[in-house]
Chains A and B, each alone.
Chain A
Amino acid sequence: MSVQINFDSTWQNEFLHRIEEDGPWGSWELYKLALEVENHTIIPEFEGLKAPKHLSSLTPLPHQLEVAKQVVENMNGKAILADEVGLGKTIEAGLILKEYMIRGLVKKVLILVPASLVTQWAIELNTKFYIPAITQRKSYVWEQCDVVVSSIDTAKRNPHKDIIYQQDYDLVIIDEAHKLKNNKTKNYEFVQNLKKKFCLLLTATPIQNRISEIFNLVSLLKPGHLGNETDFYQKYQKDSRSIEDDEYLKELVNKVMIRNRRADTGIEWTKRKVETLPIEFSKEERELYEAVSTLRKENNWMNSSKFSVMTLQREACSSREAVFFTLRNMLQKKEDPSEAFKEQIQSLISKVEAVQTNAKADKALELIQEINDKVIIFTEYRATQMYLQWFLKQHGITSVPFRGGFKRGKKDWMRELFQKNAQVLIATEAGGEGINLQFCNHIINFDLPWNPMRLEQRIGRIHRLGQEKDVVIYNFAIKDTVEEHVLKLLYEKIHLFEKVIGDLDDILTKLDFGNIDDHLIDIFGKSASEGEMKIKMDNLTSMIQFAEEMREGEAHATAGNSAFS
């Protein structure tokens, strides 16, 4: 095959000119230096990365190098990095960024990450990759700095947005990109309008095999590649899951997405020990729980909000404070409350007041003292969080709170306080996302989220690369309550806790039966009897088990990096 050969003739014209003019001529030392530079910047092989050679303070893992290589060699710098939680996507993105910078292909970079991770990203890029990334604090950094890390929520607001739109980015990196699956959102629109040459989307949640998600994410990376939206959806029905049957879509997804599973990486992970601790209510707590539970049977006003009963039951399993807040809110929000309604709430509040102890908190205290090391407590409720902080303080145990709503600086501060000064970190659900705490190896699930994925995320905060010890997880469940049902009938049956991180999201993805919360609300809320509830629960369990078997059957056939086989 003959190949087009271009010979750059600009040098020779100038050379002949200088011969005529008798100079000027360069210095021999600089001439030699220029060739040394050449020697450093040359790319000697079609394949392989240059970056690792220049990074003395980093030893990337084989799968991380492989991802970076794939993206640079085969994906043209436009990729969805969808490794399972905790495999080091930041390192992968850093390697790719560094590689492009060394090759002189990337200069201007925008990195959009959750607020809680902004500082961490900047530190990692600076210390591990020698990339002077700046965290966005003033609006002028967009123009003046080459590598900026910011949260998307800041970036998409004016005055920042307008300035950012003026910039030509060589590379845009977006962490937690699963939030961009919907193209009707402001975030999506914002990212779509960025001027970018290369783009990396990082997500721990794989594409859910849904056509619309594929269309939206691919359109961010390669606008126009899929034809127009209407035609596309005519061909592939919006919610269909025909991807696996369609060669073209499969090929396309393999072209833009890389996913490593823990099991594929060949890394020895530390063990995960799960202990479920059944806890007995005190007499008063039991009374409160029963009182809340009877609401459903008795009153019509509750019918409209089955969810409330469920919520109250779950809260009663957590703390009296949590119940109290909800009750007070119900009272305040109700327009024209009837006397009966007020009375009912009041009687419940008196039950709340009768409770003097918290069985779970006592157990937690006992555990924390026994562990005598750092512990993270997760709870679903802010009221419980505040109570626990107070409670632990009474017993001389230092703790720091952590919530999703904290500003970036406060999150960093709390994390540091926990690492250096406090024994316990008490986090609510939203706070679990985007914070890495691998210096700690004990988790207490004070109450359980109903979505198993969220449980995975909780554990993923500590059971990740860099964790050197075995991880111990304590699950609290109050006997004879909804909590115990969920734990015993669902989580334990599907062996949730023994799973390696990431297995579960794959399974639920395969299943594609919607939100697990909805199923549980339906089961507990609408079942007329205990028996019906158990049957429904069994159904759900077997569905998950079925998906699991399906997946195991396929796992071996799955080639390489794709989530699809």
Chain B
Amino acid sequence: MQQQEIQHFLERYFQANNCSITDKGPGYLTVQLSIELDKVLMNRPFYWHYLEKTGGIPNPMQLTLITDPNIAPKTIKGETIHFGSPRLHQIFESTKNLAGYIRLYEKNHHSDRQQTPLRPWLGINLRISYQCDRKRDVFRSIGLQLINGQMVDHFHEKLMTVSLTPKIPDYSFTLSPLVMPKSGIIRIQHFIQQEIATEDHQWAEEATARWQKDLNLLEHFYQDVEEKEESYEIEKQALKEQYEPKVNISIINGGLFYLTDQAISFPA
């Protein structure tokens, strides 16, 4: 992410959170935080606690972020933000937290006043992390139709071509799911796990070999020590944490999507 992309991202982020950008220029922006975002970003629980107790007028903060100190005016005082800075991580993290769960309906454009049925889909976006002393992530977006159990890959990509709204549109009605969301999640989970289990795990074998090599080295330095000290166990544990291969699957976000029959084109 280049500094300019960061600036663009921040503008969209604050707008999506209903905060007004009060000032912006090359390499910086100032934003009036909403109460909600002040609580999320500014880390001042005592203030908000005090305010709630006393019933005072809330005064959320303004925040100036400098995305490129090389081009921002020298008079602008603010926080320098960069890809990798804790503040940006915090904002990234909050994006996920603020939009972890969603429910949307497809807007359809039937001119005749015919009732349109919308089918329920469970959409889940996952990060699969292959982890040892190194790390590799894979992003997956899976959709599961909750009536016929059809599973679709690249679900989010497909959603991006559909027009969606948080309120059920006029002349539309939703069909009831036959598959409950809970078992839907389990189906997706099994599907992913199955897939991973059949993959070639050479990376894990290599990691285990590196692990063993490091262990041998450690053993060597302790081989003549009769009573192995605590430090030996600590080092051994540290090596386990560093090398042990595992796959962690976490859900980034997901939700329920009510879509027309035409919305998702199935692969043949």
Q: Can you list 13 pairs linking A and B with CB atoms under 8 Å apart?
A: A1-B201, A1-B204, A4-B246, A8-B250, A11-B250, A15-B185, A26-B98, A26-B101, A26-B253, A31-B102, A45-B136, A130-B82, A224-B229
Contact assessment for B235 and A34 in the assembled complex, using a CB-CB cutoff below 8 Å: no
Contact with A along B120-145 (1 / 0, CB 8 A): 00000101001001111111010000
Contact assessment for A26 and B102 in the assembled complex, using a CB-CB cutoff below 8 Å: yes
Determine which residue in A2, A38, A132 has the highest number of CB atoms from chain B within 10 A of its CB, and name it.
A38
Contact assessment for B137 and A43 in the assembled complex, using a CB-CB cutoff below 8 Å: yes
What count of chain A residues pass the 8 Å CB interface test? 75
Chain B's closest residue to A54 (CB) is B83
Contact assessment for A27 and B99 in the assembled complex, using a CB-CB cutoff below 8 Å: yes
Q: A33-B95, A223-B231 are in contact. Are A42 and B102 (CB under 8 A)?
A: no
Chain B's closest residue to A73 (CB) is B134
A104, CB-defined interface residue at 8 Å = yes
A18 to B255, CA, bound (A): 10
Contact with A along B1-33 (1 / 0, CB 8 A): 111000001001101110000000000000000
A36 to B139, CA, bound (A): 11
Given the complex, which residues of B lie within 8 Å of A46, measured CB to CB? 130, 134-136, 203
Given the complex, which residues of A lie within 8 Å of B189, measured CB to CB? 7
Given the complex, which residues of A lie within 8 Å of B3, measured CB to CB? 56, 130
Docked complex: A43-62 residues within 8 A CB-CB of B: 43-47, 51, 54, 56-57
B49, CB-defined interface residue at 8 Å = no
Contact assessment for B221 and A41 in the assembled complex, using a CB-CB cutoff below 8 Å: no
Given the complex, which residues of A lie within 8 Å of B2, measured CB to CB? 54, 56
A357, CB-defined interface residue at 8 Å = no
A382, CB-defined interface residue at 8 Å = no
A8 to B255, CA, bound (A): 16
Contact assessment for B80 and A27 in the assembled complex, using a CB-CB cutoff below 8 Å: no
Min distance, Cβ A149 to any Cβ of chain B, angstroms: 15
Given the complex, which residues of B lie within 8 Å of A227, measured CB to CB? 221-222, 225, 231-232
Given the complex, which residues of A lie within 8 Å of B101, measured CB to CB? 14-15, 18, 24-26
Docked complex: B132-178 residues within 8 A CB-CB of A: 133-139, 141, 156, 160, 164, 166
Contact assessment for B242 and A11 in the assembled complex, using a CB-CB cutoff below 8 Å: no
B179, CB-defined interface residue at 8 Å = no
B263, CB-defined interface residue at 8 Å = no
B63, CB-defined interface residue at 8 Å = no
Given the complex, which residues of B lie within 8 Å of A7, measured CB to CB? 189, 192-193, 249
Chain A's closest residue to B91 (CB) is A37
B92, CB-defined interface residue at 8 Å = yes
Given the complex, which residues of B lie within 8 Å of A18, measured CB to CB? 101
A18 to B182, CA, bound (A): 12
Contact assessment for B84 and A101 in the assembled complex, using a CB-CB cutoff below 8 Å: yes
Given the complex, which residues of B lie within 8 Å of A8, measured CB to CB? 248-251
Contact assessment for A19 and B95 in the assembled complex, using a CB-CB cutoff below 8 Å: no
Min distance, Cβ A553 to any Cβ of chain B, angstroms: 29
Q: A28-B104, A56-B3, A231-B224 are in contact. Are A34 and B247 (CB under 8 A)?
A: no
Min distance, Cβ B106 to any Cβ of chain A, angstroms: 12
A126 to B80, CA, bound (A): 9
Determine which residue in B82, B218, B225 has the highest number of CB atoms from chain A within 10 A of its CB, and name it.
B82
A46 to B101, CA, bound (A): 30
Given the complex, which residues of B lie within 8 Å of A32, measured CB to CB? 160
Min distance, Cβ B189 to any Cβ of chain A, angstroms: 5
A84 to B55, CA, bound (A): 64
Given the complex, which residues of B lie within 8 Å of A47, measured CB to CB? 134
Closest 9 CB pairs of A and B: A224-B231, A130-B82, A101-B84, A26-B99, A30-B99, A11-B251, A29-B16, A31-B99, A102-B84
Question: Which secondary structure dominates chain B's binding surface?
Answer: mixed
A493 to B248, CA, bound (A): 63
Contact assessment for A33 and B12 in the assembled complex, using a CB-CB cutoff below 8 Å: yes
Docked complex: B217-234 residues within 8 A CB-CB of A: 217-218, 220-222, 224-225, 229, 231-232, 234
B103, CB-defined interface residue at 8 Å = yes
Given the complex, which residues of A lie within 8 Å of B250, measured CB to CB? 8, 11
Q: Determine which of A35, A44, A222 lies in contact with B252 in the assembled complex, contact meaning CB atoms within 8 Å.
A: A35
Given the complex, which residues of B lie within 8 Å of A33, measured CB to CB? 9, 12-13, 16, 95, 99
Q: A227-B221, A251-B217 are in contact. Are A5 and B196 (CB under 8 A)?
A: yes
* Interface positions of B (Cβ within 8 A of A): 1-3, 9, 12-13, 15-17, 68-70, 79-80, 82-86, 89, 92, 95-96, 98-104, 125, 127, 130, 133-139, 141, 156, 160, 164, 166, 181-182, 185, 189, 192-193, 196-197, 201, 203-205, 208, 213-214, 217-218, 220-222, 224-225, 229, 231-232, 234-235, 242, 244-256
* Interface positions of A (Cβ within 8 A of B): 1-8, 11-12, 14-16, 18-19, 23-47, 51, 54, 56-57, 73-74, 76, 98, 101-104, 107, 126-127, 129-132, 146, 222-228, 231-232, 234-235, 248, 251-252, 255
Q: Determine which of B16, B133, B244 lies in contact with A76 in the assembled complex, contact meaning CB atoms within 8 Å.
A: B133
Given the complex, which residues of B lie within 8 Å of A126, measured CB to CB? 69, 80
A38 to B217, CA, bound (A): 38
Min distance, Cβ A72 to any Cβ of chain B, angstroms: 8
A421 to B86, CA, bound (A): 40
A76 to B243, CA, bound (A): 10
Chain A's closest residue to B160 (CB) is A32
Contact assessment for B197 and A2 in the assembled complex, using a CB-CB cutoff below 8 Å: yes
Contact assessment for A222 and B235 in the assembled complex, using a CB-CB cutoff below 8 Å: yes
Q: Determine which of B95, B208, B246, B256 lies in contact with A30 in the assembled complex, contact meaning CB atoms within 8 Å.
A: B95
Contact assessment for A30 and B98 in the assembled complex, using a CB-CB cutoff below 8 Å: yes
Contact assessment for A248 and B136 in the assembled complex, using a CB-CB cutoff below 8 Å: no
Min distance, Cβ B137 to any Cβ of chain A, angstroms: 4
Contact assessment for B185 and A26 in the assembled complex, using a CB-CB cutoff below 8 Å: no
Q: A38-B125, A46-B134, A73-B134 are in contact. Are A146 and B100 (CB under 8 A)?
A: no
Q: A223-B231, A224-B232, A231-B225 are in contact. Are A102 and B83 (CB under 8 A)?
A: yes
Contact assessment for A225 and B102 in the assembled complex, using a CB-CB cutoff below 8 Å: no
A19 to B184, CA, bound (A): 13
Contact assessment for B102 and A6 in the assembled complex, using a CB-CB cutoff below 8 Å: no
Determine which residue in B70, B100, B137, B203 has the highest number of CB atoms from chain A within 10 A of its CB, and name it.
B100
A16 to B70, CA, bound (A): 48
Not counting A15-B255, A26-B98, A37-B96, a sample of 18 additional A-B residue pairs whose C-beta atoms are within 8 angstroms of each other reads A1-B201, A1-B204, A6-B249, A7-B189, A8-B248, A25-B101, A27-B16, A30-B13, A35-B253, A54-B2, A73-B134, A104-B89, A127-B69, A130-B68, A224-B235, A227-B221, A234-B224, A255-B217
Chain B's closest residue to A38 (CB) is B252
Given the complex, which residues of B lie within 8 Å of A56, measured CB to CB? 2-3
Q: A7-B193, A46-B136, A146-B86 are in contact. Are A34 and B253 (CB under 8 A)?
A: yes
Contact assessment for B251 and A5 in the assembled complex, using a CB-CB cutoff below 8 Å: no
A167 to B138, CA, bound (A): 34
Min distance, Cβ A404 to any Cβ of chain B, angstroms: 32
Min distance, Cβ B216 to any Cβ of chain A, angstroms: 8
Contact assessment for A132 and B70 in the assembled complex, using a CB-CB cutoff below 8 Å: no
